Amino acid sequence: MKKKETLKDGTGIVIRTLTLKDLEKLMAFYRSLPYDDRKYLRIDVTDQGAVEKKLRTMKEGSSVRIIAMHNDMIVAMGILELGTDDWRENQGEIRVVVARDSQRKGLGLMIVRELYLLAVEHKVEKIVAKMLKPQIAARKICKKIGFREEVSLPAYVKDQDKKDQDLIIMTCNIDELWKEFEILYKDSDWQRCR
């Protein structure tokens, strides 16, 4: 998958599938993120060994990863993790990380849209998003596009500072997500990617 897109401010980007050859660029992207953005991620993304281990899940077919590139640099990444057991085979979990300089330009929603299209391709019926309580902006975006909070698990996980954090689990039916996208983008040409 490879698509050219234009952000709200006119910046041209390319959204494409991440490959193992992108590891150095991915590490540069992760290391450029402010610590406040990295500390709520599941792993220490500055640890190349930990990142490589996660990337191997692409070969197993249990995840699909996409990136947004600008000037040969990664400016955003999205992950669709597919349910691999019988209970969750109809589910996909999404995660999105956008560089600070590229935020508030519509890039996060573009990445979510592409993850949605990948979820449809993989016959996902329900999308799950998990985040920590301090990730208020991420929760607001998810609510805006149709996710609803299912549960908050107090002190369930530890952040990169090893502090207990509440885990928020949000879900969205795949059809409801598309309806919210149609409302958000009714005056744009984003549907051409459908």
pLDDT, position 192: 42
- Alpha carbon distance 168, 161 (integer Å): 18
Full-model pTM: 0.87
- Residue type at 123 in one-letter notation: K
pLDDT, position 181: 65
pLDDT per residue as tens digits for the range 96-136: 999 999 999 999 989 998 999 999 999 999 999 999 999 99
Tokens representing 48 are 């190349």
% of the chain surpassing 90 pLDDT: 68
CATH 3.40.630.30 fits 2-193, yes or no: yes
pLDDT, position 27: 97
Tallying the residues shown for the chain, one arrives at 194
pLDDT per residue as tens digits for the range 13-53: 999 999 989 999 999 999 999 999 899 999 999 999 999 98
Helix (H, G, I), strand (E, B) or coil at 92: strand
Domain boundaries, the chain: 2-193
pLDDT, position 193: 44
Which residues on adjacent β-strands are paired with residue 78? 66, 96
Q: In angstroms, what CA-CA distances link 85 with 90, 110, 119, 155, 172?
A: 9, 29, 16, 26, 19
**Residue 143: Cβ within 10 Å count:** 14
- Alpha carbon distance 141, 33 (integer Å): 19
Q: Does position 83 have pLDDT exceeding 90, yes or no?
A: no
Q: Does position 62 have pLDDT exceeding 50, yes or no?
A: yes
Alpha helix ranges (H) inside the chain: 23-32, 35-38, 48-60, 107-121, 136-144, 174-184
